[in-house]
Structure 1
Amino acid sequence: MADLAAELSLLLEKFNATQLVLAGSATLFLALIIGRLLFNSLPSKRPPVYEGIPYIGGLLKFAQGPWKLLHDGYAKFGDVFTVPVAHKRVTFLIGPDVSPHFFKAADDEMSQSEVYDFNVPTFGRGVVFDVEQKVRTEQFRMFTEALTKNRLKAYVPQFVKEAEEYFAKWGNSGTIDFKDEFSKLVTLTAARTLLGREVREQLFEQVADLLHGLDEGMVPLSVFFPYLPIPVHKKRDRCRKELSEIFAKVIRNRRESGHREEDVLQQFIDARYQNVNGGRALTEEEITGLLIAVLFAGQHTSSITTSWTGIFMAANKEKAFQPAVEEQKAIVAKYGTDLSFEALSDMEVLHRNITEALRMHPPLLLVMRYARKPFSVTTRDGKSYVIPKGDVVAASPNFSHMLPHVFKNPEKYDPDRFAPPREEQNKPYSFIGFGAGRHACIGQNFAYLQIKSIWSVLLRNFEFELLDPVPGADFESMVIGPKACRVKFTRRKLL
């Protein structure tokens, strides 16, 4: 009995100690919550904090979806607000009034590397976000040189060839989904102009499957934990290794044979560093990484913008589709039936239709930077804030493009808003569909030519009718495209 009493006494002491620990922990947690609430409500030069429940509120808001977070945060605080997420602070800058520093600051002030380094396993080591800024600048220069006017002229016939061959396989009528069709076609055009003739003609299916594996390995969790050993990441790494082996052979064969092609791959093979790395040529691994980076930057965005352009033109026959058809007739009368660089560059109506589709539905919901230095912003209503060093700073093309003080009747598809004398895009940082400032998309001319080539072939050969209402955007995807929408096509006589 004495032993039992002793054991009970010991258990009681442990129970009381546990109670004290739990009570102390609860008190400490409550104090932290109260402290956080008081801190967030104190007057400050920093932006207002949109968190709700301390420590977990930001995570919960992101879990509900970025669009809802942007909508609710803007409604409550306006142009600038901060959302704590785990150990980071994300500050949103909404609209052109607070965006200039975000877009025009140098990399030593607003950096991409810290927020986009989750791409390193996909792109590979030694390129883009895995190198210091001066090396990345040289690599971007190499891609810019692959997109000069003369280079773009050489790519146009390849765009047209792929489009004509693809649509020749369609019947006289049928039902399609633009998003599915253009995803396939843009992959073909990208394979020919970016990855090379050898890949397009001999290795396309194999390379397309491997690229799909890379694509599947880019999930929301990858942004925070890119090296987590989950199945999609393991598959991503296998696909990346196999792609490296394939491109190494193609590159080696071209270098050894001296054979040349008109594509971006050839530009990278010929390129040399100028101010870094001793002026050497790119390695096979660097070329592979840059090709993958370029493909990821442009493939989904181009196919999605091509899809939205078709959806809105088909839904706005008198305002958009028919004027684009009439423009094609005028272009044929002026340049003949061949689609040349000059003919495509002269298509102002189609250009505005594409731009308006991109305004309404930019493929990237958020673009981000890391604040290496503090900076100040002033909102549209005159409030000034200091964004501290260490914040992740985000702008949203989608949300900013829907502000009525930036674009009149923003939810209405109206391509003429970009025509003289309106030119609503002319206020700095109002239209950011291709980014802006120092990091504006260097491939935008390539993208316009690609999309114009595809739609010129379609406008000259088909009529379209939406069988479903204009779809909403799929905000669940990493790149924001349209939800499913059935479209009826009917082949008609060539113009």
Structure 2
Amino acid sequence: MGLLNDLTTGLSSVTSTWSGIGFGVATLIATIILLNVAQQLFFRNPNEPPIVFHLVPFIGSTISYGIDPYKFFFSCREKYGEVFTFILLGKKTTVCLGTKGNDFILNGKLKDVNAEDIYSPLTTPVFGKDVVYDCPNSKLMEQKKFVKYGLTSSALRSYVTLISQEVRQYFSKDAPHKKFASTSGTVDLPAAMAELTIYTASRSLQGKEVREKFDSSFADLFHDLDMGFTPINFMLPWAPLPQNRKRDRAQKKMAETYMSIIKQRRQEGDAKSEAREEDMIWNLMNCTYKDGTPIPDREVAHMMIALLMAGQHSSSSTITWIFLRLATRPEIQDELLQEQRDVLGTNEDGSIKELTYDAMNRLPLHAQVVKETLRIHTPIHSILRAVKQPMHVEGTPYTIPPSHSLLATPGVTARSNEHFPEALLWEPHRWDESPSEKVARLAPKHLKEGVAEETEDYGYGMVSKGAASPYLPFGAGRHRCIGEQFAYVQLQTILGTLIRDFKFFNVDGSDKVVGTDYSSLFSRPLAPAVVRWERRTEKA
């Protein structure tokens, strides 16, 4: 009995101790939360934007922002106005909405805002050293100029043919994957379009050698590298996580693969040979920095990785959204096909003549389908900048201190009814040059008002500053996406080629569209997103 009493007493003591510890921890957490709430309610700094109310200090609004950024932004705009601050994983992040907010952040001076400090921890392990955000801004501007020179009209003209060939090959009845071997079926669009955009981008921009490697282990390397773009790597890019170890191995192997291609090309002789195809690797192999230094081969390899990764995400997401939207509007699909017949003409057998780069400029509805999809489904919902010195927000009493990050979200203006009536309605005809009475009320208001677009040369050619337009799917200012022209060519070519041979429908026959996955840096459709397809029986 004595032993039993001792054990009982001991257990009671341990239980009492743990209860005390639990009570102490709970009290500490409650105290921290109460102090945090009190600070927000009674000690607000009138010179800084209002902080979005939150209970837990470090977490702040991270979860509600991460689940649906646009819902979060619009809700905060109603409560706090166009300028407000929220806590994002312990960091005060100030959001500036509207066209003035886009201009304030995206056209901020180098002495005031910085993109490298924000993005380098995430992108450098993926792309590699000495390119994009792992180099001085002046060097990045030179690199953008080199890439832009590789996207000339003659290059884009040749890409249309190459992209069309890849689309036909992938959707052929005889394709090795056998996904489209019959006359009808279903397809998971996000998975299929991810494959297709990799094939089209690698074949057109990077040449035969790179494209051929995607039939083997290169696609697996790309996937492992892509997993490095997880939000946690903004804070812990060095963490020994399984996906980070795979990321590092993939980066090394992909860089070595590009290096071997470059080495072989140099050994084969003059890069200016008329027999060679135009592609970005040849272009960069012959570029020289302002100080006379040729681009090192390793930097060329890293720029190739960056180019492929950056373009694949936005194009894959956008072309998926295009066909998800078209699946709800069969009549638009028929209009697209008829536009090709009317503009391109037909061959003797009734088939539509070949799609060309010059012809695409005469297919306005095709361009409008892409444009309207990019408006609602802007690939990047948040653009971040580090604040380098105090920045006053014109027209407000607020000054943003260097302890904050800045966040621009052009997608909010593109989804705002004040700029685009019935903004969440997907309607390509809202962009018609002379819209019918039915859709005239939907026409973008800034086009009616004749808002002029400001441009500036940051060192790689004239680009939009974006000071006035609410439509900025490719950003604005010095960091505006230089692949914009290629993206339009790629998307319109895939659209124009596919619409000749296929019709797409929602499996359940409804006009519903899947939700958006905001879990990574890029907005994309929730997967799987399955639609039904049918091969057209008429000549196209």
For the superposition of Structure 1 and Structure 2, which TM-score range results when normalised by the shorter chain? 0.7 to 0.9
1:86 positional shift: 4.6
Say whether 1:389 aligns with 2:402. Answer: yes
1:9 maps to what in 2? none
Say whether 1:164 aligns with 2:168. Answer: yes
User: CA 1:53–1:28 in 2, change beyond 3 Å: closer, same or farther?
Assistant: closer
SS state at 2:217 partner: helix
Q: 1-side partners of 2:34 and 2:366: how far apart?
A: 60
Say whether 1:455 aligns with 2:515. Answer: no
Can you list the C-alpha shifts for 1:49-90, whole angstroms capped at 9, x where unaligned?
A: 114226233445446553443243223112111013354211
Asked if structure 1 preserves the Cα contact closer than 8 Å seen for 2:225 and 2:251, the reply is: yes
User: CA 1:67–1:203 in 2, change beyond 3 Å: closer, same or farther?
Assistant: closer
Paired residues, what number? 470
Say whether 1:342 aligns with 2:358. Answer: yes
Say whether 1:445 aligns with 2:485. Answer: yes
- Percent of pairs with identical residues: 29
Can you list the C-alpha shifts for 1:183-225, whole angstroms capped at 9, x where unaligned?
A: 1111101121233211212564222111111012221211221
1:355 maps to what in 2? 371
2:386 maps to what in 1? 370
SS state at 1:389 partner: coil
Q: How does 1:207-356 map to 2 (within 5 A)?
A: 207-258=218-269, 260-274=276-290, 278-318=291-331, 320-333=332-345, 337-356=353-372
1:412 positional shift: 0.7
Unaligned runs of 5+ in 2: 1-16, 174-179, 435-442, 452-467
1:464 to 504, 515, 520: 504
User: CA 1:68–1:423 in 2, change beyond 3 Å: closer, same or farther?
Assistant: closer
Q: Which amino acid aligns with 1:280?
A: T
Q: 2-side partners of 1:476 and 1:129: how far apart?
A: 23
Q: 2-side partners of 1:25 and 1:176: how far apart?
A: 53
Q: Which amino acid aligns with 1:333?
A: G
2:115 maps to what in 1? 112
Q: 2-side partners of 1:130 and 1:160: how far apart?
A: 35
1:126 positional shift: 0.8
Q: Which amino acid aligns with 2:518?
A: F
Q: 2-side partners of 1:64 and 1:175: how far apart?
A: 29
1:192 to 203, 209, 218: 203
1:371 positional shift: 2.1
1:384 positional shift: 5.0
SS state at 1:205 partner: coil
SS state at 1:84 partner: strand
User: CA 1:383–1:409 in 2, change beyond 3 Å: closer, same or farther?
Assistant: farther
Q: 2-side partners of 1:140 and 1:26: how far apart?
A: 49
Say whether 1:50 aligns with 2:52. Answer: yes
Say whether 1:491 aligns with 2:536. Answer: yes
Asked if structure 2 preserves the Cα contact closer than 8 Å seen for 1:112 and 1:369, the reply is: yes
Q: 2-side partners of 1:61 and 1:413: how far apart?
A: 26
User: CA 1:152–1:314 in 2, change beyond 3 Å: closer, same or farther?
Assistant: same
Can you list the C-alpha shifts for 1:349-392, whole angstroms capped at 9, x where unaligned?
A: 110111101111112121111222333335xxx75533233421
Q: 2-side partners of 1:86 and 1:218: how far apart?
A: 17
Q: Comparing 478-487 with 244-253, which one deviates more in the overlay?
A: 478-487
SS state at 1:268 partner: helix
User: CA 1:27–1:393 in 2, change beyond 3 Å: closer, same or farther?
Assistant: closer
Can you list the C-alpha shifts for 1:468-490, whole angstroms capped at 9, x where unaligned?
A: 43212122343222222323223
Say whether 1:100 aligns with 2:145. Answer: no
Query: What TM-score results when the alignment is normalised by the length of structure 2?
Result: 0.80
1:455 positional shift: 1.2
Asked if structure 2 preserves the Cα contact closer than 8 Å seen for 1:191 and 1:204, the reply is: no
1:414 maps to what in 2? 427
1:478 maps to what in 2? 521
1:136 maps to what in 2? 140
SS state at 1:90 partner: strand
Q: 2-side partners of 1:395 and 1:30: how far apart?
A: 29
Asked if structure 1 preserves the Cα contact closer than 8 Å seen for 2:327 and 2:531, the reply is: no
Query: What TM-score results when the alignment is normalised by the length of structure 1?
Result: 0.87
Unaligned runs of 5+ in 1: 1-14
1:75 maps to what in 2? 78
Say whether 1:149 aligns with 2:189. Answer: no
1:425 positional shift: 5.4
Q: Which amino acid aligns with 1:294?
A: L
1:33 positional shift: 3.3
